[in-house]
Amino acid sequence: MGYFKLGKMTLKSLFKKPETLRYPYETRPSVDDLKGHIENDIIECTLCGICAKRCPTGCIEVDKAAESWTIDPFDCIQCRTCVRECPQNCLTMMPDYRKPATSKVVSITTKPEPTEEEKAEMARKEEERAARIKAAMEAKAAREKAKQEAADKAE
Amino acid sequence: MGKAQVLPFGPQHPVLPEPLHLDLVVEDETVVDVLPQIGFIHRGLEKLVETRDIHQYIYVAERICGICAFGHSYGYAETVERLMDVEIPPRAQYLRSIMHELSRIHSHLLWMGLAADAFGFESLFMHCWRLRERILDIFEAVAGGRVILSYTLIGGVTKDIDAPMLQAIKDKLNSIKKEYQEICNAFLKDTSVKNRLVGVGYISPEDAVQYGMVGPFARASNLNNDVRCLGLGAYGDLADFQPILSTDGDCYGRVQVRAEEVLQSISIIEELIDKIPDGDFYVPVKGAPAAGSEACSILEQPRGEVYYYCSGNGTKNLERMRIRTPTTQNIAGMTMALKGCDLADVNMIVLTIDPCISCTER
């Protein structure tokens, strides 16, 4: 029993540095695994849309036609589900918070315009693909023809 | 004796962290009857199981209440795992229990700060919340968030805590313990605190049983209903678990139970860290709960026993989810404790049940 049981601690804290920070002039150093905000490495992204499907708040939109990946940072709850589910591992949780904003804006990431080399590579791949399809179609037609002939012979 | 008058208390009141409305019938300075009213922050979270799948709902469950955020995700995940007959790895059980006990420390420290603020001991309030920051720092380092952790998954946890990190948690808790004992001393031994708390809002053990009280509120009336005694999950591996009881039944008893539970939680965490087994921390859970399946589980949260019920309908969404939270149980006890008290003691009694209205209304 008695008074001033907290006296020692209170007196000690008179000579200590304040526990608080003068935010926004000072900020705390962020830990490595802090759930700050999501960033997408759009070069690696295949726009498969799994992140949008798994997101519990539906804050991600994937537009395949426009080749864009959109996140609404005000709806994102930093649960890291998209990062965990991404098959390409192109999503990263950055360990720093976004700055306060005065208006609600979504963050859109679009695939960059391909360079001449990339365009040539894509055209070559497209040609190869067309050739493969053509060869497969021809092979299929030949197989069917042979089958038909065999059936006719049997009759 | 004066004429009876009705005095509204809340929903906006400096002592209330959340909106609760009480109609106090007072005669002179004495409260003779109380009529509680809730319904200011109902968000329809139980209904959301119909539009969010079982894995997505874990983040909704977490947002039922800010302070017991981890507890709700833990309880919900455990119920769904029972519904789908999933056995989670022992390491995940331990990690969940460690985080749950850490959140109990943070919840109790928050409440002790609020209680100190309510009886006008500002510096005690500041010191409680300063210590609470240390626990939030542990959460930040482990899960990446300070209050809403998103740490639980159906089938385990999102991330392992490695041995150096576990040791760091232990060291941090040790340093907290020293400072906390000083705070505890102020709470339990200071005459000015005792003058304000002893004999206020008395509930007898018989009444505690009759009103169905749970958690520290009931344990202060010498009623043992600590769910951790059942030894579910990692709690079963504790060498010796004795719930903290008090025979006082008044506001001082409730402060005492919570103050001692913080020290108990620290020793539980230390024991679990020493005993933690190696192995996986997550098993992937595929598929959906079968149609007509039902499961329930109970959990001891900082405020008391929580009951979860889930039923499946063969799809990814649950048919029904229901939570019975501790404050729902304790409101009856609170109105009984308020009857016959002084008007000036109302805020202290309301606060000592640790009301969590967000949980209650969901």
Residue B7 lies in a domain: no
Amino acid B1: pLDDT? 63
Amino acid A47: pLDDT? 87
For A84, the closest chain B residue by CA position comes to B158
Q: How far is B208 from chain A (nearest CA, A)?
A: 29
Residue pair B337/B22 in contact (Cβ under 8 Å)? The answer is no
Q: Is the CB of residue B247 less than 8 Å away from at least one CB of chain A?
A: no
Half-sphere exposure of B353 (CA within 13 A, CB side): 30
Amino acid B108: pLDDT? 92
Task: List chain A residues with CB under 8 Å of B185.
Answer: 5
Residue B12 lies in a domain: no
Residues sharing a CB contact under 8 Å with residue A86, sequence separation 6 or more, in sequence order? A50, A51
Half-sphere exposure of B324 (CA within 13 A, CB side): 12
Residue B299 lies in a domain: yes
Handedness of CA A25, A93, B48, B61 (dihedral sign): negative
For A55, the closest chain B residue by CA position comes to B56
- With CB atoms and an 8 Å threshold, state whether B127 touches A9: yes
Could you give the number of structural domains in chain B?
Answer: 1
Cα separations in angstroms, B322 against B141, B230, B292, B294 = 32, 22, 15, 11
Q: How far is B152 from chain A (nearest CA, A)?
A: 10
- With CB atoms and an 8 Å threshold, state whether B127 touches A6: yes
- With CB atoms and an 8 Å threshold, state whether A84 touches B158: yes
Q: Which of B59, B158, B186 sits opposite A5 (nearest CB)?
A: B186
At B132, which CATH number?
A: 1.10.645.10
Residue B20 lies in a domain: no
Here the tokens at position B293 are 């399946």
- With CB atoms and an 8 Å threshold, state whether A35 touches B183: no
Residue B21 lies in a domain: no
DSSP calls for B131-165: HHHHHHHHHHHHHS-SS----EETTEESS---HHH
pLDDT tens, position by position, B201-219 = 888 888 888 888 888 888 8
Q: Please state, in angstroms and rounded to a whole number, the distance separating the CA atoms of residues A104 and A92.
A: 22
Listed as ranges, residues in chain A with pLDDT below 70 are none
Here the tokens at position B310 are 């889930």
Residue B128 lies in a domain: yes
Cα separations in angstroms, B335 against B103, B144, B213 = 28, 40, 12
Quote the ipTM score: 0.74
DSSP calls for B191-213: HHHHHHHTTSS---HHHHHHTT-
Amino acid B109: pLDDT? 92
- With CB atoms and an 8 Å threshold, state whether B194 touches A1: yes
Domain that holds residue B253: 41-361
pTM for this prediction: 0.85
- With CB atoms and an 8 Å threshold, state whether B140 touches A34: yes
Residues sharing a CB contact under 8 Å with residue A103, sequence separation 6 or more, in sequence order? none
Q: Please state, in angstroms and rounded to a whole number, the distance separating the CA atoms of residues B336 and B340.
A: 9
pLDDT tens, position by position, B126-161 = 899 999 999 999 998 888 888 888 889 898 898 888
Residue pair B77/B152 in contact (Cβ under 8 Å)? The answer is yes
Residue B18 lies in a domain: no
Best probe of the B interface among A9, A16, A31, A78, by most B CBs < 10 A, is A9
| N-terminal to C-terminal alpha carbon distance within chain B | 41
Q: How far is B201 from chain A (nearest CA, A)?
A: 22
Amino acid B19: pLDDT? 85
Best probe of the B interface among A75, A79, A84, A97, by most B CBs < 10 A, is A79
- With CB atoms and an 8 Å threshold, state whether A19 touches B52: no
Q: Please state, in angstroms and rounded to a whole number, the distance separating the CA atoms of residues B352 and B334.
A: 9
Q: How far is A22 from chain B (nearest CA, A)?
A: 16
Listed as ranges, residues in chain B with pLDDT below 50 are none
Residue B23 lies in a domain: no
